[in-house]
């Protein structure tokens, strides 16, 4: 049994310093051969296409690195502060291969990336989650729209714009690596994390949009990380809080996720991000002795070496998804999993539980033979090859590696915002209007009760924008505020007659943002049992409509509402567009990339 056998070897290695790398290397090579192997790296072929000069840089750089630098290159930490002191002593002194900031101001990111590239001996990969626009790296960036919005607008052309705009604005502040596109398939409507981050549930649409995004990024000189291998969206859990399981058969996965990854690899995807997602069918197929355990791909040689490298022929860089996720943490003692994920076939480890401790775990694992010399060299080669393919050494030599201030003007520019407005206009989807309510007008529906249902940081912005837009069109808007009921004191609950006399229209706005660490992505109501006016008890009393800005499946939570619209993103341009369409100023063009009726026939009525 390969998995259990390697676990035993690691356990022995951690307590027996005499275990050397050569011994584990030999055992690991035998296991790799049984699972398809890790083919020799082809630096001249896809996806690197390096010249002789660039290959020489890779080899010379490896030869000139200290052991600390080699192990440091395997890490891709998140950066929490942009100050030079922090960047130098907490980041650069540990020799990471790349870093990622959360979204910040243009000036902060420009200065931080400039410092990092100027003071790092080896050029850095600088990444951001560029799934929805330039605002994934800088707060002033263009909020283009979620991936599902691009699919609803028409697909590939808009996914290309998403990739081009996101990476152009990111490059302006020095970011050269996009943690995108998401090529998961949203097969399970209960899944709380895939949702609008995907291009929908059709593998052909996902493939076309993924390829288009990558083309837009490539034109900017940016690398992409195709994610999340082996494929999320089959079950209803979030790998941030447990291991997700892709339960498809080998044949069904080949025809869906497999076809998508094959197309992306054949189109020279430079990197793949591996999720903490199990794929039992393939793990058992490639290793009949695989135990009855849920083991994530990030720790599975069967999926990394056997499927991704062997069957799919991927020659590029493999990076883990964030390793502080519970899907990674719960699978193995971290002292073992940090070096083992590299030995299993990953080339870089994303984020840390504790950066200093993880470095120590990697060092011990290398010295004790969990991480072999062979795998360390392979990982370093691919890390440096990716940097060479992005021309980072050349730019460093020419003095053009750091961002240039004159390029900042592209961030949030009018041309990009115009494209975002166009995408929004094409994406808004009228799911149903079985009560023939639309278009609304201030003449017939002057008194509006506006209810934003979310619980997100953006709620106040969304609420304010909706109120301003509706009032600008002549509506009188009352914003619902959560009522507080004390069951031990008398209180007045508005009667049906009072409600009917008070309002002409109720507009619900669903603003439940897609976010990590959730067990569901559903509507939660404030008032129970129909108390107050939060839950739509009044749909037969006053005309009511619902607009979902984030989750295309909210109709399952409001089946009583007969006019329902999906908008996929909550930025201001989308809100403005939805209001225009409610008033009949423009037609609805969007085509749903998923089943908004969730397989429930009664939701169509």
Q: Which two tokens stand for residue 36?
A: 């398809």
Between CA 211 and CA 151 the distance in angstroms is 13
3-class secondary-structure state, position 318:
strand
What is the DSSP code (8-state) at residue 332? S
Between CA 9 and CA 7 the distance in angstroms is 5
Establish how many alpha carbons lie within 13 A of residue 263's alpha carbon, considering only the half-sphere containing its beta carbon. Answer: 20
Answer for the pair 61, 341: CB distance below 8 angstroms, yes or no.
no
Between CA 458 and CA 464 the distance in angstroms is 10
Residues 6+ apart with CB under 8 A from 329: 323, 337, 353
Query: Which single residue is written with the structure tokens 């010379």?
Result: 60
Residue of 235, 238, 321, 557 with catalytic role: 321
Query: Which single residue is written with the structure tokens 């007008």?
Result: 441
Between CA 297 and CA 279 the distance in angstroms is 7
Establish how many alpha carbons lie within 13 A of residue 118's alpha carbon, considering only the half-sphere containing its beta carbon. Answer: 11
Answer for the pair 268, 42: CB distance below 8 angstroms, yes or no.
no
β-strand pairing of 429-433 with 563-566? antiparallel
Residue 175: phi, psi to the nearest 5?
-80, 125
CA triple 291-294-295, angle to 5 deg: 85
The full 3-state SS of 471-525, as one line of letters, equals: HHCCCEEEECCCCCCCCCCCCCCCCHHHHHHHCCEEEEEECCCCCCCCCCCCCCC
Q: Decide if 557 is catalytic.
A: no
β-strand pairing of 476-479 with 447-453? parallel
CA distances from 559 to 311, 493, 544, 592 (A): 45, 24, 12, 18
Between CA 303 and CA 280 the distance in angstroms is 10
Q: Which two tokens stand for residue 136?
A: 């994934």
- Span between the terminal Cα atoms of the chain, in Å: 54
Between CA 508 and CA 73 the distance in angstroms is 49
CA triple 174-324-144, angle to 5 deg: 40
Query: Which single residue is written with the structure tokens 């991704």?
Result: 308
Q: Which residues are catalytic?
A: 321
């Amino acid at each position: 049994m390969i998995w259990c056998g390697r676990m035993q070897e690691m356990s022995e290695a951690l307590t027996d310093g005499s275990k050397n790398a050569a011994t584990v290397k030999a055992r690991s090579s035998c296991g790799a051969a049984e699972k398809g192997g890790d083919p020799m790296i082809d630096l001249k072929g896809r996806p690197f296409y390096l010249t002789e000069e660039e290959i020489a840089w890779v080899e010379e750089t490896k030869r000139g690195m200290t052991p600390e630098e080699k192990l440091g290159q395997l890490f891709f930490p998140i950066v929490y502060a942009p100050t030079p002191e922090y960047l130098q002593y907490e980041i650069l002194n540990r020799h990471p291969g790349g870093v990622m900031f959360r979204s910040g101001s243009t000036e902060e990111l420009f200065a931080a990336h400039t410092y990092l590239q100027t003071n790092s001996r080896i050029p850095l990969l600088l990444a951001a989650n560029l799934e929805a626009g330039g605002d994934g790296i800088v707060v002033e960036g263009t909020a283009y729209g979620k991936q599902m919005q691009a699919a609803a607008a028409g697909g590939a052309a808009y996914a290309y714009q998403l990739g081009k705009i996101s990476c152009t604005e990111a490059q302006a502040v020095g970011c050269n690596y996009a943690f995108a596109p998401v090529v998961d398939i949203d097969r399970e409507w209960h899944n709380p994390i895939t949702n609008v981050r995907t291009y929908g549930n059709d593998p052909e649409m996902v493939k076309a949009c993924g390829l288009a995004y990558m083309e837009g990024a490539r034109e900017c000189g940016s690398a992409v990380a195709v994610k999340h291998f082996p494929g999320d969206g089959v079950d209803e859990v979030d790998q941030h809080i447990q291991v997700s399981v892709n339960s498809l058969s080998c044949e069904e996965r080949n025809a869906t996720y497999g076809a998508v990854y094959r197309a992306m690899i054949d189109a020279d995807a430079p990197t793949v991000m591996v999720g903490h997602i199990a794929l039992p069918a393939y793990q058992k197929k490639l290793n009949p002795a695989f135990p009855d355990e849920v083991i994530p791909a990030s720790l599975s040689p069967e999926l990394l070496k056997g499927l991704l490298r062997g069957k799919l022929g991927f020659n590029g860089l493999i990076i883990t998804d964030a390793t502080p996720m519970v899907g990674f943490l719960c699978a193995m003692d971290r002292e073992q999993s940090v070096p083992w994920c590299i030995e299993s076939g990953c080339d870089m480890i994303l984020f840390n539980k504790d950066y200093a401790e993880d470095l120590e775990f990697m060092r011990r694992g290398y010295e004790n033979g969990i991480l072999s010399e062979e795998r360390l060299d392979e990982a370093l080669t691919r890390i440096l090859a990716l940097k060479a393919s992005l021309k980072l050494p050349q730019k460093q030599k020419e003095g053009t590696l750091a961002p240039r201030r004159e390029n900042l003007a592209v961030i949030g520019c009018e041309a990009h915002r115009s494209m975002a407005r166009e995408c929004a206009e094409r994406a808004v989807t009228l799911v149903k209007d079985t009560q023939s309510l639309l278009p609304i007008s201030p003449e017939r529906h002057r008194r509006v009760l506006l209810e934003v249902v979310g619980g997100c940081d953006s709620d106040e912005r969304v609420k304010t924008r909706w109120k301003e837009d509706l009032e600008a069109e002549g509506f009188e808007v009352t914003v619902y505020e959560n009522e507080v009921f004390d069951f031990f004191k008398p209180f007045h609950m508005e009667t049906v007659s009072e409600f009917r006399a008070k309002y002409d229209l109720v507009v619900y706005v669903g603003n439940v943002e897609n976010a990590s660490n959730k067990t569901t992505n559903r509507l939660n109501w404030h008032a129970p049992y129909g108390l107050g006016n939060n839950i739509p008890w009044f749909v037969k009393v006053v005309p009511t409509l619902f607009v979902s800005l984030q989750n295309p499946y909210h109709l399952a939570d409001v089946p009583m509402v007969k006019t329902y619209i999906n908008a996929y993103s909550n930025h201001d341009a989308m809100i403005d567009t939805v209001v225009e369409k409610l008033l009949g100023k423009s037609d609805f063009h969007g085509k749903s990339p998923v089943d908004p009726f969730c397989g429930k026939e009664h939701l169509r009525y």
